[in-house]
Structure formats: C-alpha cells, structure tokens
A and B are shown apart, each in its own frame.
Chain A
Amino acid sequence: MSEVGKPHDRVDGRLKVTGTATYAAETPVANVAHAVIVSSAASHGTIKAVDTRAALAQPGVLAVLAVGAAPKLPDANKKNSPQDKILQLLQDDALHYPDQPVAVVVADTLERAQHAAMLVASQVTEEPVALEVPGGEAYKPEHAGPRGEPDTTRGDLAAGLAAAKFKVAATYRTPVHNHHPMELHATIAAWQGDKFLTVYDATQGIFNVRDRLATIFGLDKKNVRVIDKFVGGGFGSKGSPWSHVPLAAMAAKQVGRPVKLVVTRQQMCSLTGHRPVTVQELQLGCDEKGALTAIEHKVTSETCRFDEFVEPSAIQTRMIYSCPNVVTSHRLVKLDIATPTFTRAPGEATGTYALESAMDELAYAANIDPLAFRIKNYSTTDEQEKKPFSSKELMACYTKASEAFGWSKRKMAPRSQRDGNWLVGWGMATATYPARQMPASARVTIKADGTAVVQVGTQDLGTGTYTVMTQVAADELGIAFDRITFELGDTALPEAPLSAGSMTAATVGSAVKIACQKAKQELAMRGGKGEVTVEHHNEVSKDHDKFAMHSHGAVFVEVKVDEDLGLVRVSRVVGAYAGGQILNAKTARSQLLGGVVWSIGMALVEETVRDPKTGRVITRDLADYHVPVHADVPDIQIIMVDEKDPHVNEVGAKGLGEIGNTGASAAIASAVFHATGKRIRDLPIRLDKLLPDVHA
C-alpha cells in the first residue's frame, strides 16, 4: 500500500515532545559567548552618540559594538534577491524605527550581557514620526508580491458598474500583525579563521542566509555553512535574514569566539518583520440574477521609508470569480516604521477578508444566499491570465462543507437565531492560495543493507517535511518507511529554496520523487547490488506556463455574539479544502487547522498596536499580543476533497500551509453580521467595535 497520504505521526515527534530536538539556539557550541541587542528607546532621528563605557566596565563583558564604533561592512546592504531586507548593522547614524539596534553587547554569560545592555545609553536627535496610512502620500510600487503586476484592468469597470442592478462600495482595514512563532529568532555564529563561517540559525531558508552572509562579509559561499535542523515556526518572519543574523557574525568576529544571539520576544515586534496595515477599497456590482458585472479592489498598505514591502491583497481578486470587468491596484504609503514582510498567506489573508466580506455584502444587497452567490459566479478559467486551471475542485468543497455544516437550514435575515444571551450567526467564504513550485535538488543513497538516506537542504518549520518526504521516498524506492532517513537543514546538502509560499511539499517532494526513481534505476543497472548515491536537480513543471494553479477551499462558520457585552465566540467551523495530492493526511490537517486558528485570531483578537506618539509597539509580549487560546477555538472540522492534478508537479501536491488562513476571517466577520446585523469592516472585531453606543 502506498505510504503517500497515510496519516503518519511525525518522525521527529518524539524528539519534540521530549525536548530533545535541537533548535538553533540550543546547539551545543564550545566556548560560546552571548550577545544581546541594545534596542533604541527613541523612535526616529539621528543617533548622536552611544555611550558604552558603563557596559564595558562590567565583569564578563567582552565587547560592545555600537553605532559609530562598529566594524565597517561595505556590502551591508547589498541584496541578493528582492526578498532580502535592508539591514541595520550599526553602520550609520540613521535611526529609522523604535527598537532599532544601536549596539550589541557580548559577554561570557547571557545574564551579564543582558545587564550590561541595560547600561548602554544612546543620544538621539529625534524627529516626529508618521504612522498612519490614511492621508499619507501613496505611490505605486513596481511589483505587487514576487509575481504580480501592481495594477490590472480587465474589461470596462465603469460600464460594469453602470450595468449593475446591485452594488456595494466599502472600505476594509486590517491591522499590523506580528508572526510570533514559538521559537524566538536566534543565531549562533562561529568563525573558523577569517574565511570560514558556520552559523546555526532559526530560518526558513538556510541558503538565503548563507548567500547573504557571504555577501556581507565578502566570503566565498562555499565557506559559509548554515545549519538549522528544527524550526519552531516562521510564518514568513524567518523568510529572509534580519539584522541580528549578521550582527551575531560581526560580534563573533570581534570577540574571536562563537557568539549566540537570541532576539527577545519584545524585539520580535520590530526587528523581524510584521504584516503591514492594509486599507482596501472595494466596489462590486452584479446583475439582477446575481452575476458579477464589476469588481474594483484598491489596496493601500504601509511600508517603511528605507525599504519596500507590498502586501499583495488584490491578487486573488483577479481570478477567484468569473467577472468581465475587474480592476485591481496596489499602493504604498511610507511610514516611520520597521520593514513589513511576508506573513502567512501574505496578500490572500488580508485580501480574502476584504473581498469575501464585500461578496457577502453584495449577496445581501441582491438578497441571494451567500453560497449560491459564489456558485453563480464560479470561474472555470483564470480570466485574468486566460488560462485553464490545472485542477479546481472548489465546487466539491462548497458542496461537502455546506452539507456537513447544515448551511441549507440557514435563514437569510440577520438576527434570526438566538441562544440565551447569545445571538447566533452563520457565515461562509471561499479560500484560495496559489500552488507554487521552485527548483530544488535532492540526493538519495540506497545502502547495501536495504536502508536509504535522502538529503535535501530544505527546512522543516514544524509542518512535517521530515515525515512527508520520508513517505514520498518510501513509495518511490519501495523501501519501508522506517528504513529511510530524511536529512535536511544544512547548506552542505543539495540546495533547495526557502520554505515559504506553501511550496515545500511540491518543490522538495518532486525533487525527492525523481531522485528516488533515478537511484532505483541506477541500482537496477548495477544489478541491484551495493550502494548507490544519486543527486538530481529538479526544475519547475513546464505546465506552470500553461495552467493557472491554485488550492481552493470553502469555509463555514458559526459565531455567537453576546449583544450586551459585545463578546464574540466562534462556536463551529467546517472547512473543505482541495490541495491536490495529500501527502500525509495528519500533517495536512494540522496545517489547515492551524490556518483556521490564525483566521480566528485575525478576525477577533490579533493586532499589533503602536503608541500613537512614538510608534513603539505597545503589544510587546504574548500577554498583550493576543492570539486565540484553547477556549477561543471550537471544534474545527476539516474535510479533504479529492483532487487529481496531473500538471501541477511530479507529486501532484499543491500545498496547504497557508490556505487555512484565507477566507475564514471573512466568514467570521460575515457570521457576526448575520448574528447582529452589524458590519465591522475593521479587524480585529473586538467588543468595543460591536458596542458603538459605548463611545461617549
């Protein structure tokens, strides 16, 4: 029987629950010194002086690297790829954002470094900060996301709106989010002489870290080795190296010892990226029967002044429904903030919230059931790209999820269901996320004893890469699952891309599959005897040019709202998802569950708040930055819809890491409307927004 698809427990599960999985910061490195970043108290301006004398005088302090007295790195800000960030490596006196590193203290113990860091004082000539997107001067970026055009126009929007019988126009706002993976960002840097550097780093992309460090320190890539065997979540924040990574290497060079630098939870609000604020203006129109005649989706998001990131929230709007007249645009406003970055389902999470909320509003304007309205506007081709879908089982998702939820019993009118003090509401939305793939290499060794080792320089973010790749290899090699070892997380292994964009299963899975096939052939050619090692470089499926490739889903939600107190509780969720071949039913379900929990967080609680005067993040720890706790998460039913896709890639998998975080927050917002009759167009839906009369 095939191993692929089975709900195997994680091969690294025991290591994790017994605390023996070694995360980057836990790597035992002899003679390691401890570095602490000193964050700026001031927000914005010019750093005049950093006084390090008191810190240097403390016992155990080995060095203090500070603005004005740090080693010079001519290529500090040379990007290897657009995803790389402009870093703050103590090279100049510009203070861009609060918490920006002004110094790094290195000591023999962590406690001594922390204490000395408190004694570093900086003088800054402060300037006022701009923090608000509305009213800021917006400009058009060159790209919206790694692949997209910032603006698109299809058909004639004005004509489409004029022809509409029903219309809605609404503006939606989403706040700043921090990723806050469980594992703090951390780097251990160890030099071997001047030319060789080994780094243990908490990262989603070991090769990107390697390349950036090579560039910054003028090293041969081959002489930089980056290792990361386990990652405690990344969600995009660990997608490109941030300042602390080279700072650790600078510090290690300075003190002539390996150095460990762990970013604090508080610093992770500013030093390792965030999801930017979006303001999204939507206009939708449909005819008498509910066929969409026009969609306009205008996105404005924040970026920093010294770098750029676009939250591509309107991308899905171009293909998700059938509509002849569609206009989308992305604009940016530069603020005095740290650099935003990719956050789980960048674009789609915020974009589907706005679009699917507007779809619900139009369904109500036209008095059509929200599910029937989606089905009425089902797209059978990508009308923007003018390509067929490689596969699309969204209709089955709608059917299965709505049946399991009992949607047909829904009454259209808001405020039509009650349970004691609680108003009950039902909402639904479409979920979607692109199916991406990148080139990757894999090495397979079949040993004489019938075991095998498969090696790829990829990462396991906690998603199950170790496990699913072992399953793929088992099927191709015809070797038992427990006789195969999968190794990852080391740039000494064959190169693979970032673990991001929900593409690891597709990318690495395909490379592993073909490498295994080749190894088996090679072994057969040698008469099935001895040991063979084969390395294979896998390119992206050519069909990516011919087809539009996306995962899809449909999510149905019940909420309860205490009308007097404004409390919202999600009481039931059913989601059906089609993501091509499921490699492991258990890890796939976990990804989808986690995505839905993120959506609950996004809809109801998550918000990074900045002080209105200084821009410093107020919600600096997990006591103040709320994510859902168990009591906020109801029973979530996940249905996997069968989907065969011969085009998408060799393993037929589309990726499910992010789609759970799309659509569901709109479904919750729509359910809140159904319960209360109130549209909250500004996330998160906190109780004070539901009690408008409470504002004096």
Chain B
Amino acid sequence: MEPFGYIAAADEKMAIDEAPRGTFIAGGTNMVDYMRLGVIKPTTLIDVSRLPLTNIEAAGDGVKIGALVRNSDLAYHPLIQQKYPVLAEALLSGASPQIRNMATTGGNILQRTRCPYFRDMHYAQCNKRQPGSGCAAIGGFNRSHAVLGGSPACIATNPSDMNVAMAALDATVHVHGPSGERDIAFVDFHTLPGDHPEVETVLQPGELITYVTLPAVTGKQHYLKVRDRASFAFALASAAVVLDVQGGTIHGARVALGGVGTKPWRAKEAEAALVGQAPSPAVFAKAADAALAGAKGQPTNAFKIELAKRTLVRALTEVSK
C-alpha cells in the first residue's frame, strides 16, 4: 500500500471542501481492499463515514435513502421490505453479512469492477487502470465479464447487485459538490466504457453522493441472482424485475440485468416487449431475446447470453405467479 493522508470529515461542507485533495472513503470494503492491492492509490482519504447521511425516510410517495446507510440497515428497513422488496433481495444476495454491515449506499453505487486483470497490478495491460495500455481481459479469461455495453477498450462488469435494483426502480442519485447540488437519474449515472473505461460515472471531481431517492412503483418485484455457489459470490447473471399485471395484461414492466453489463443494465427493449402482452413463457422469452439482442460474447463468457435470458425468464415467471 502507498502511504496516504487521512481526514475525517466532520460535516458535508468539510467533506466537499477537502475533496480536491483526496478521495472519499465510506465503509471501506472496496477501497481498502483495492488500496492494499495497489490498484487505487489515493494521496489522502476523506472519511465520510461519520456524516449524518444515515436516514431512511418516506419522501412523497417514495423513499429517501442517505448515502451512508449501511447495506444491511437498508435491506432490513420496513419501508424497503414493504415497498421495494426487489432492493432488499438484491442487497441480501450480495457479499456476506459482515461486509453488508460495513458497506454503504454511496460506496455500493461506486464499487469498482472485479475484473481480475484490473485487480492484479502485475498486468501492464488494463485501460481502466492505465488508460491506453490495452485490455488483458479481451482474449484472456473473461468468464466474469460483460456481454452488454462492452467496447474494444474494456468489457469489465459492474459487479453491484444493489445497482441492478436501483436501475430497475428508476432511482435518482443526489450529489453535492464544489459547484452545488444536482440530481442524476440512476440509469444515466454510470457510463459505458467506450474509449474511456477509466471514466465510470458522470460524477464530477469532488462531488459527494448525499442520498438516493426512489419513486413509488406498482407491481410485483423480484431479484434473482445466478452465481457459481449458493452464497458469497458475484452474479454471473441477475435480473431485477417489477411487473404490473392488471386483468391479465402487463401494464407496466421494469427490467434490469446484472452480471452481464458494463453498467447496471436497464433493459428498456425487454420492457417494451412485455407491456401490453399477457404474461406467458413465449412473451417472457421474447422479452429476454430483446434484452440480450445487442449482446456480444467472448470465448469464455458467451454462455452468459443464454444464461441471462434464462435468468430473466425465470424472474418474470416467478413474479407473475
């Protein structure tokens, strides 16, 4: 690990004022891990974990979630359990209880990819770590990598489960930075790698995530995660679905996929294929085909295209029971 400075932010203003000098740390479950690997080398850590952004409260028809709310507190909060079970399921499918007790909403949104080539500093090639150096994962072992949203520069997956539910729920991210506060639609928050995989979000330097809001949603919800073992593993494919079926017809559908996209993957095409139809295996299969229509596999991850379709079909089937 590189030597680094440490500042404990006493309040939001201090955090933002200090931001140009350093990097935020919240639960530290991702940051400390990657600092120890040498992947992230902040000169100064600005510890925001003591900021009072820890509330979960009703806001209009929806809910407002502080950026420092721990993943476990969020998952078990009555408002979330009742109104956003898909979010609770997504959170509880991630990591382990110990990690969820530390991990925060803001940190989870911004967790970095698990690409093994990104995490192993011995590889010179990684465009995300070292812009312009190449991508060791393309042509390498890329079983965990994305089949949607990749570019010739990078195919790294956004690993978060929570983000998939947030994308499906049309969350809004509220940020506070040197030039004031602004709101960013969750689906626009993360960016595609394109030629610049080192840029992962639209967050500007020094901007702090303060809270996330969720609008009211109607319909039954489900998060399904498929992985190599029964627990404590990242998704090979996952699906967050909200299906509003009235009188035998799908009135509203929200679909997002995880484990397969370079960003939390909202599948509007799948939603279009569902709305107005009667739920049926054929309709679900069509929606799945639509969601994965643009997918591009690599030799060791092509199976995820079919796996993601099946995962989505299963999630839709469960939720329409």
Contact = CB atoms under 8 A, between A and B. Distances in A.
A688 interface: yes
A351 B7 CA distance: 57
A57 to B, nearest CB: 14
B160 to A, nearest CB: 14
A312 to B, nearest CB: 29
B229 A613 contact: no
Interface in B119-139: 119-124, 136, 139
A605 B310 contact: no
B116 to A, nearest CB: 5
A455 B29 CA distance: 45
A619 B228 CA distance: 14
B241 interface: no
A421 B321 CA distance: 14
A569 B230 contact: yes
A632 B229 contact: yes
A27 to B, nearest CB: 24
A681 interface: no
Contact of B122 (A114, A610, A616, A629): A616
Interface in A591-640: 604-605, 609-614, 616, 618-620, 623-624, 626, 628-632
B311 interface: yes
Contacts of B228: 605, 626, 686-687
Contacts of B123: 41, 614, 616
Contacts of B2: 115, 118
Nearest to A117: B38
B6 interface: no
B202 interface: no
Interface stretch (A437-445, A479-487, A559-567): A559-567
A696 B302 contact: yes
A695 B301 CA distance: 9
B229 A605 contact: yes
A566 B307 contact: yes
A694 B226 CA distance: 15
Contacts of A619: 116
A395 interface: no
A620 B305 contact: no
B231 interface: yes
Contacts of B232: 629, 631
B229 A687 contact: no
Interface string B184-205: 0000000000000000000000
Interface in B169-217: none
A604 to B, nearest CB: 7
A616 B141 CA distance: 11
A614 B114 CA distance: 19
Contact of A694 (B38, B119, B143, B303): B303
Given A114-B1, A687-B236, A604 B229 contact: yes
A598 B119 CA distance: 27
A630 B231 contact: yes
A691 interface: yes
A620 B140 contact: no
B64 interface: no
Nearest to B230: A631
Nearest to B119: A620
A111 interface: yes
A194 interface: no
B136 to A, nearest CB: 7
Nearest to A59: B3
B141 A629 contact: no
B251 interface: no
Contact of A626 (B114, B124, B233): B233
Contacts of B117: 611
Interface in B1-15: 1-3
Contact of A629 (B1, B119, B230, B314): B230
A630 B231 CA distance: 8
A123 B179 CA distance: 46
Question: Which one of B119, B121, B302, B303 has the greatest number of beta carbons of chain A within 10 Å?
Answer: B303
A316 interface: no
Contacts of B310: 564-565, 691
B182 to A, nearest CB: 34
Contacts of B119: 620
Nearest to A633: B230
B297 interface: yes
Given A564-B310, A565-B314, A696-B297, A691 B122 contact: no
Interface in B217-256: 226, 228-234, 236
B306 interface: yes
A115 B141 contact: no
A429 to B, nearest CB: 22
A636 B120 CA distance: 37
Given A118-B38, A687-B226, A565 B307 contact: yes
A39 interface: yes
A691 B310 CA distance: 11
A479 to B, nearest CB: 44
Contacts of B236: 687
Nearest to A43: B122
Nearest to B120: A620
A694 B230 contact: no
Interface string A410-432: 00000000000100000000000
A564 B120 CA distance: 34
A616 B120 contact: yes
A99 B120 CA distance: 11
Given A98-B122, A612-B141, A613-B139, A631 B229 contact: yes
A693 interface: yes
A407 B120 CA distance: 48
Nearest to A570: B230
28 contacts: A39-B122, A41-B123, A41-B124, A115-B3, A118-B2, A118-B38, A118-B121, A565-B314, A605-B229, A610-B141, A611-B140, A611-B141, A612-B139, A612-B141, A614-B123, A616-B120, A616-B122, A618-B116, A618-B140, A626-B233, A629-B229, A629-B232, A631-B232, A686-B228, A691-B303, A693-B306, A694-B303, A696-B297
Interface of B: 1-3, 38, 114, 116-117, 119-124, 136, 139-141, 143, 226, 228-234, 236, 297, 302-303, 305-307, 310-311, 313-314
Given A115-B1, A611-B141, A631-B230, 11 more contacts: A41-B121, A565-B311, A567-B226, A609-B143, A616-B120, A620-B119, A620-B120, A631-B232, A687-B236, A694-B302, A695-B302
Question: 6 closest Cβ contacts across the A-B interface?
Answer: A631-B230, A694-B306, A41-B122, A631-B231, A688-B303, A694-B303
